[in-house]
Structure 1
Amino acid sequence: MRPAAPLLPVLALALALAGCGQPSGPPDSSASPTSSDDPRFLPLASYDMSDEDVRTVGRARWTLARECMVRLGFGGLKNLDVDPVPAWPRRPEGTGVVQLALYASDDLRYGVQDPGQAARYGYRAARAEHERRYPEKDWTLSEYLALTGQFVSEDPKSVHGHRIPRRGCLGEADRAIHGTNPQDRSDPVLSLETKSLQQGRQVPAWKAADRAWSACMREAGYRYPSPRDAEIGEDRQRQELQDRLNGSSHDPEEPSALEKRTATADARCKQRTGYVRIVHAIDVRIQNQLIARNRETLEAQRRWNDDATRTAGEILNDRS
């Protein structure tokens, strides 16, 4: 599991990496996989931070950022609550930048799996989990710039007579914890997890699972070659856009009835065809192969994570 990734000025990327189980609500990160047959089990995850380590690092990060903000003249943030840690700051609306958010979850790695969850959240359970774990806070533009250092156009580089640190107060906190900004170095766990999916989708058994799932979806009235195509739903997006142009009052930030129906059929077809069991077994096998070929790099990443967690713990202990 990894902490929320920084937002870019135009593209806001927020990773909600949470446990899935089979509840009708968003994924529940309290449970841990107990065997390699559990679809939440990923061999590469052993080289990543645990949920508790992510929480420790996040609290330390925001503790340092809070101190930095007070130093920059934002005295009103002296008592900012950092447990749970706030969501990554969003630039205020109306300041000339369009922000998009992409939410992903390791435990929705193979797409929606629970029909009850799909009926409630459509394809947006990862977003629901992120919002549950990381409370949103409204920031002024000066607060946002001081926290993130994400400048565009004529944004001021100073506040209250103080120069904003590189990558803002959150970036300064990252350097104190990690020794560098995480976004400035490659993450081998994330890279290899992505590679495993790319390789897995080329395996004949995975392709056969896609075909079986697709045939099930056709019986339900949907024509998608793979779960990825259903989740993207280009045809659904066109229909929803047309509905809005025709005066629909549906909030585009919420899943439409069509999205919920599609996601529910998707999850049911995964259950009926044994899709997740098949692709997860392939994914685990490929991840183990990738680990064997990249063990030294992965061990270095684990040490880097452990060092950051230890430093974060010391920071919190010093302020307790």
Structure 2
Amino acid sequence: MSPSRARTTTALALLLLATTACTAAQHGPTPASHPPLVSRQAQQLRLPLDAYASTVAETHLVEDAQDILMRRCMNDLDMEWKTLPRVDAQDTEPPNLRRYGADETEAIRYGYHPRPDPPSVVRRNRAWDEREALPAEVQRAAYGPSGKGGCLKTAQHQLVGDTAPPDYHAFNQLTGTALETSRRAPEVRDALRTWHACMGKAGFDYPDPFAAAGSEHWETAEPTATERATARKDVACQKSAKLTTVWAAAETHTQHRLIDQNTDRLHKAKVRKDRWLAAARRVLNREGG
């Protein structure tokens, strides 16, 4: 069985999971004809603990480098290995999308439904699906009986030697703690009450943006007109309450404190992550991008 593919996990939950990874060469600026996938605020939102996780683009970078080394290994066994198609830079989600509620740009178009995957993401996911359908002998050569051996293990050793894969347990634990803790800050509670009152004037009685987005009423194949209208009011109320600005400031303060309390643990995790990224970039640079 092939290893788990990198998926973007940005659920509206209090405990967010981190993605690991790395990017191939940067693409040029987004063409003017390419509409923004998410709001500028979501694109720019950064938190202190982000330095200890990896972006989806960075995960792709490591996968792409491993893929090149796997192809060499598989070719040595007289087996073909198609490398994964690259994901366009503008098609990767920012790390803190939906952290404090629905995104304005997405809500206007899709309500609370996830936006459709962009074409480059579809191509990469399709390639992963095709790998899962490879003949058994090819999968054994690629991944070994355990899914962690074969040419994958060879490629990882060539990439980073005996350096263990990045461990994101510390980040996952602390980022969830930071979100929950900052939610209880007086200024965040005030902003949430302002949001609730704003929604109430429109006839909605959700306790917070997470409850609004997670309502069972939106479990439909496509977003309904009611869902879109609710989501639009939701993000309008978030803006009037300055919810994201207030919450991000409170969480930034909380995260700095947690980083100070876990310096050694986080430093070790970041060193491992940075070694994998540096090794991946070296492989991709030798391949010309």
Q: TM-score, normalised by structure 1?
A: 0.64
In the other structure, the counterpart of 1:221 is 203
Describe how 1:291-302 pairs up with structure 2 within 5 A: 291-302=259-270
Q: Helix, strand or coil: the match of 2:256?
A: helix
Partner-residue secondary structure (3-state), 1:296: helix
Task: Note if contact 1:48-1:189 (Cα within 8 Å) is conserved in structure 2.
Answer: yes
Instruction: Tell me what 1:84 maps to.
Output: 87
Is the 1:47–1:298 Cα contact (8 Å) retained in structure 2?
Answer: yes
Deviations 1:201-243 (A, max 9, x none): 2333322322221111121222200011011112443xx4xxx
Aligned ranges for residues 33-52 of structure 1 at < 5 Å? Answer: 33=44, 40-49=45-54
Separation in 2, partners of 1:230, 1:175: 46
Whole-Å Cα distance in 1 between the matches of residues 223 and 250 of structure 2?
31
Q: Cα RMSD (Å) of the superposition?
A: 3.8
Q: Secondary structure at the match of 1:197?
A: helix
Q: Secondary structure at the match of 1:291?
A: helix
| Matched residue type, 2:86 | D
Aligned equivalent of 2:61, options 39, 56, 60: 56
- The gaps in structure 1 that reach 5 residues or longer are 18-22, 34-39, 86-102, 147-155, 241-251
| 1:167 partnered with 2:167 | no
Q: Aligned in 2, Cα 1:120/1:67: closer, same or farther, shift over 3 Å?
A: farther
Describe the shift of the 1:315–1:262 C-alpha distance in structure 2 as closer, same or farther (beyond 3 A). same
AA paired with 1:138? R
Is 1:27 the counterpart of 2:38 in the alignment? yes
Matched, 1:187 2:173: no
- 1:266 alignment partner in structure 2: 234
Matched to 2:38, the amino acid is: P
Of the candidates 123, 132, 135, which is equivalent to residue 144 of structure 1?
132
What letter corresponds to residue 4 of structure 2 in structure 1?
P
- Offset at 1:46? 2.6
User: Which amino acid is the alignment partner of residue 25 of structure 1?
Assistant: P
Aligned length: 253
Structure possessing the higher relative contact order (Cα contacts under 8 Å, 6 or more residues apart): 2
Task: Say if 2:112 and 2:223, in contact at 8 Å, map to a contact too.
Answer: yes
Distance 1:42 1:234, change over 3 A: same
Q: CA deviation at 1:58?
A: 3.6
> Aligned equivalents of 2:61 and 2:140: distance in 1?
32
The percent identity for this pair of structures is 25
Confirm whether residue 14 of structure 1 aligns to residue 8 of structure 2. yes
User: Which has the higher mean CA deviation after the structures are superposed, 213-222 or 134-143?
Assistant: 134-143
Change (3 A) 1:120 1:60: same
Alpha-carbon displacement from aligned partner over 1:154-193 (angstroms, at most 9, x marks no partner): xx864487474233679535565464445xx443223211
Aligned partners of 2:56, 2:143: CA distance in 1, in Å?
A: 31
- Structure 1 residue identity aligned to 2:273: N
Shift in CA distance, 133/296, structure 1 to aligned 2, threshold 3 Å: farther
Question: Take 1:140 and 1:271, find their aligned partners in 2: how far apart are those partners?
Answer: 39
Q: Cα distance, 1:278 vs. partner?
A: 1.6
Cα distance change, pair 260–69 in 1 and its aligned pair in 2 (3 A): farther
Is contact 1:122–1:263 with CA below 8 Å preserved after alignment? yes
Structure 1 SS opposite 2:131: helix
Residue 204 of structure 1 aligns with which residue? Answer: 186
Structure 1 residue 263, shift from structure 2 partner: 1.4
